[in-house]
């Protein structure tokens, strides 16, 4: 490959140009070489100006804050709040920041719109106390405020009783994510504990369910309209929760059915202790015309009773702790084995709830009726039914209930709930099982 001759021509041309320049200089000055050029003065370079920083978008600017000097300042510098796809994750992060006393993080997660001055002061005071959350299951969904658009969640504080020591967060759904809209803190030290922290329809429904779950009959009764919801139904729900070992469903435990200015309906959904979906029942709440507090005005337990019968009573829908009374209202029912007048452990647990109800008010009175199936003579069955009513009374008196609060009646085999025999005259064991019982009519009002 032939090499390029360009470098040789370039060097020769450069030498020739230098000779021409030297000759011209000699011709004009008579000197052989030109003088050295004067030294060039050194000039300090001026650095190029740095580019102006780009403006921070508003959504990011809210998160750039100075180091807070006190808790309230940190909360006052809150941004627009964090939007999260999973509301449970958002509440968990808020709970972690609360336990850690990280006020800056709390403010950034909750957002300034939910933190008015009074709430900031109380939240700062609570966080400074180093609160602990209930572990596990610190985060709880309470229910829907509006179908698929607004929801209420809660953080359980350690040692909370009947759900009253919780921090409630109302969340709103926007552009596919959830954000905190408002929060409600529990009472501070020395402040009275309200029966229900929130008194809208969802707050009353939740407070009622928490009271029945914790077997607090008197508290639960504060949230119902006693003219339409009987004491027996409240006690029956307490027993169902206890006997069936139910808990509120973790996701959407209270699902909004309808919401009107003075009436609201919710589906209460429960799971078993293993976390399996079990059943649901409905609550209807009404608000008086004079803007009084919302009250539970109706409870439909049919589906819950059916699940209880399937899981606890061996599938017998008649073997239920709550039945309709012919005189009106509801009656609690306790069952006995064949020719027995002793109390089974489950019956004693049910009576413990009844005893609690009676001991809260010495003026309350109940009527106890004993019943049998149709096997045996009428005389024997009348005595057996009397013994059954008597053993229930003795147990209640043994727990501290006054004797005058209990009236006993022996019905023998005269009032079967189900046929003792089939239409062809054959024995009906399942029917007789439901007839061996003692009924408790809570005629309190």
Summarize the confidence of residues 97-119 as an average pLDDT.
Answer: 93
Asked if residue 346 and residue 289 are part of one domain, the reply reads no
Summarize the confidence of residues 187-205 as an average pLDDT.
Answer: 88
> Has residue 59 been placed in a domain?
no
Asked if residue 442 and residue 322 are part of one domain, the reply reads yes
Choose one of 275, 298, 315: the last residue of a domain: 315
Asked if residue 334 and residue 311 are part of one domain, the reply reads no
Asked if residue 323 and residue 426 are part of one domain, the reply reads yes
Asked if residue 263 and residue 141 are part of one domain, the reply reads no
Asked if residue 199 and residue 135 are part of one domain, the reply reads no
What angle, rounded to 10 degrees, do the helices at 103-110 and 87-100 form?
160
Asked if residue 437 and residue 323 are part of one domain, the reply reads yes
φ, ψ (nearest 5 deg) of residue 116: -75, 175
Asked if residue 218 and residue 95 are part of one domain, the reply reads no
- Rounded-to-integer distance, Cα 401 and Cα 358, Å: 6
Q: What is the pLDDT of residue 317?
A: 65
Q: What is the pLDDT of residue 161?
A: 61
Q: What is the pLDDT of residue 163?
A: 56
Asked if residue 341 and residue 304 are part of one domain, the reply reads no
Asked if residue 363 and residue 341 are part of one domain, the reply reads yes
> Has residue 291 been placed in a domain?
yes
> Taking 60 as the threshold, does the pLDDT of residue 62 lie above it?
no
Q: What is the pLDDT of residue 416?
A: 93
Asked if residue 237 and residue 278 are part of one domain, the reply reads yes
Share of the chain above pLDDT 70, in %: 82
Summarize the confidence of residues 413-428 as an average pLDDT.
Answer: 93
Looking at residue 262, which CATH number applies to its domain?
3.10.450.50
Looking at residue 380, which CATH number applies to its domain?
3.30.1330.60
Q: Cis check for the bond before 136: say yes or no (omega within 30 of 0).
A: yes
Choose one of 156, 184, 212: the last residue of a domain: 184
> Has residue 333 been placed in a domain?
yes
Q: What is the pLDDT of residue 67?
A: 53
Q: What is the pLDDT of residue 361?
A: 81
The DSSP output letter for 246 is: -
Query: Rounded mean pLDDT of the chain?
Result: 83
- Could you report how far apart the first and last alpha carbons of the chain are, in Å? 119
Q: What is the pLDDT of residue 108?
A: 93
- Domain encompassing residue 210: 195-315
> Has residue 29 been placed in a domain?
no
> Taking 50 as the threshold, does the pLDDT of residue 51 lie above it?
no
Asked if residue 308 and residue 280 are part of one domain, the reply reads yes
> Has residue 4 been placed in a domain?
no
> Has residue 268 been placed in a domain?
yes
> Has residue 36 been placed in a domain?
no
User: E strands of 59-201, at which residues?
Assistant: 139-146, 150-156, 166-174, 177-184
- Which neighbouring-strand residues pair with 169? 153, 183
> Taking 80 as the threshold, does the pLDDT of residue 15 lie above it?
no
More confidently predicted of 88 and 364 = 88
> Taking 90 as the threshold, does the pLDDT of residue 20 lie above it?
no
pLDDT per residue as tens digits for the range 291-329: 678 999 999 999 999 888 888 777 676 678 888 777 777
Q: What is the pLDDT of residue 121?
A: 92
Number of domains in the chain: 3
Does pTM top 0.85 for this prediction?
A: no
The DSSP output letter for 112 is: G
Summarize the confidence of residues 363-389 as an average pLDDT.
Answer: 95
Q: What is the pLDDT of residue 428?
A: 93
- Rounded-to-integer distance, Cα 382 and Cα 167, Å: 56
Choose one of 274, 300, 315: the last residue of a domain: 315
């Amino acid at each position: 490959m032939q090499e390029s001759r360009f470098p040789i021509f370039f060097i020769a041309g450069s030498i020739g140009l230098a000779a021409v320049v030297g000759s011209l200089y000699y011709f004009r000055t008579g000197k052989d070489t030109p003088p050295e050029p004067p030294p060039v003065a050194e000039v300090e370079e001026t650095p190029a100006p740095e580019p102006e920083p780009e403006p921070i978008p508003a959504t990011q600017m809210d998160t750039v804050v100075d180091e807070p000097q006190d808790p309230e300042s940190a909360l006052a510098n809150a941004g627009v709040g964090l939007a999260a796809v999973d509301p449970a994750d958002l509440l968990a992060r808020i709970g972690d920041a609360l336990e850690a006393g990280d006020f800056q993080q709390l403010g950034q997660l909750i957002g300034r719109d939910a933190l008015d001055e009074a709430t900031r002061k109380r939240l700062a005071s609570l966080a400074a106390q180093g609160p602990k959350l209930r572990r596990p299951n610190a985060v709880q969904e309470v229910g829907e405020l509006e179908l698929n658009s607004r929801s209420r969640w809660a953080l359980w504080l350690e040692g909370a009783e009947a759900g009253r020591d919780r921090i409630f967060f109302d969340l709103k759904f926007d552009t596919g994510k959830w954000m905190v809209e408002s929060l409600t803190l529990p009472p501070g030290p020395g402040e009275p504990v309200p029966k229900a922290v929130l008194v809208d329809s969802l707050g009353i429904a939740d407070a009622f369910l928490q009271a029945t779950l914790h077997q607090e009959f008197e508290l639960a009764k504060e949230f119902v309209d006693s003219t339409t919801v009987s004491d027996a139904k409240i006690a029956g729900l307490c027993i169902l929760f206890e006997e069936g070992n139910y808990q509120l469903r973790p996701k959407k435990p209270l699902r909004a059915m309808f919401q009107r200015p003075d009436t609201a309906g919710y589906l209460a959904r429960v799971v078993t202790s293993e976390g399996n979906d079990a059943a649901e029942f409905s609550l209807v709440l009404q608000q008086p015309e004079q803007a009084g507090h919302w009250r539970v005005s109706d409870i439909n337990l049919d589906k819950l009773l059916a699940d209880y019968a399937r899981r606890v009573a061996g599938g017998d829908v008649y073997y239920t702790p709550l039945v309709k009374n012919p005189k009106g209202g509801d009656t609690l029912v306790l069952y006995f084995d064949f020719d027995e007048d002793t109390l089974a452990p489950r019956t004693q647990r049910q009576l413990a709830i009844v005893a609690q109800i009676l001991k809260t008010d010495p003026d309350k009175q109940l009527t106890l009726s004993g019943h049998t199936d149709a096997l045996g003579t009428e005389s024997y069955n009348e005595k057996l039914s009397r013994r059954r009513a008597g053993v229930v009374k003795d147990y209640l008196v043994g727990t501290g209930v006054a004797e005058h609060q209990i009236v006993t009646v022996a019905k023998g085999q005269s009032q079967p709930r189900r046929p003792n025999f089939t239409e062809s005259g054959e024995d009906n064991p399942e029917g007789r099982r439901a007839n061996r019982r003692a009924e408790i009519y809570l005629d309190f009002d």
